[in-house]
Amino acid sequence: MPRIPVLDSETGEVKKELEVSSNVFDAPLHRAVVHQAVVAYLANNRQGTACTKTRGEVSGGGRKPWRQKGTGRARHGSIRSPLWVGGGVVFGPKPRDYDQRLPKKMRRIALKAALTAKLKEGDLLVVEDIRLEAPPKTKKALSLLDRFGIKDERTLIVIDRSDDVLYKSTRNLPNVSVSHVDSINTYDILLHKKLLLTESALRRIEEVYGLEKRPA
């Protein structure tokens, strides 16, 4: 079973080691499934509200702008032709649904593959607990990250409880995101260079995903 060092939140030094589930942190790296999960996540976040008007939907243009012959100008039937400025759009976007349905089993395979990749690359850190004292201050969050040597890295912090002080202390940091353990997804894990888990969040992940059978 893989072993992960647990860091002290006050000193940043290794305090102990934990044995973690091989079903979660030593899972097969199914690249195709991971790619499909990322594509589905991005597609499901698209609003699909882009809309253009065809020549039949643009207002005006009911009268022929000039007679067919004798003016020396090109023949036109409407000022709302796609050839005219302010005219309709040919084959433009219309509102549509971009949602892609990904089976639950595939989502879990992709998530476990992403967690395994982070661990093998040395980008997964576990801390005993994260508690910042009120009032919220960005300086406190920077000091915390500096203890772990990830101050300048794009980091995803995963916790298992609501923590307004932590959220407010990190919201001005463009490279830091805070997520609840029940809301993590493959895209967010891969988007960030470092993944910082609390020990309780790690155990929650194992509780949810560790009892599943490993795919063949």
- The pLDDT value recorded for residue 167 is 94
Q: What is the mean pLDDT of the chain?
A: 92
Q: Are 142 and 151 in contact (CB under 8 A)?
A: yes
Domains defined for the chain, CATH in brackets:
3-29+100-209 (3.40.1370.10), 47-97 (no CATH)
Interval 23-36 mean pLDDT: 94
pLDDT at 213 over 70: no
Lowest-confidence pick of 2-16, 23-37, 51-65: 2-16
Is the pLDDT reported for residue 77 higher than 80?
yes
User: Does the pLDDT of residue 212 top 80, yes or no?
Assistant: no
| pLDDT tens digits, 180-202 | 999 999 999 999 999 999 999 99
Cβ neighbourhood burial of 212 (10 Å; 0-12, 13-18, 19+):
middle
Q: What pLDDT is stored for residue 216 in this prediction?
A: 46
pLDDT in tens, 37-58: 999 999 999 999 999 999 999 9
* CA nearest neighbour of 180 among 170, 167, 165, 193: 167
Give the mean model confidence (pLDDT) for residues 129-150.
Answer: 91
CA distances in angstroms from 200 to 102, 109, 206, listed in the order given: 28, 22, 10
- Is the distance from CB of 113 to CB of 28 less than 8 angstroms? yes
| Residue 124: closest CA among 152, 171, 157, 163 | 157
Longest dimension (CA), the chain: 92
Structure tokens, 39: 């594509």
Q: What is the pTM of this model?
A: 0.84
Mean pLDDT calculated for residue range 79-94: 95
Question: Mean of the pLDDT values across residues 3-11?
Answer: 89
Q: By C-alpha distance, which of 194, 195, 191, 193 is closest to 205?
A: 195
Measure the CA–CA gap between 119 and 131, rounded to whole angstroms: 24
> Average of pLDDT values for 124-149?
92
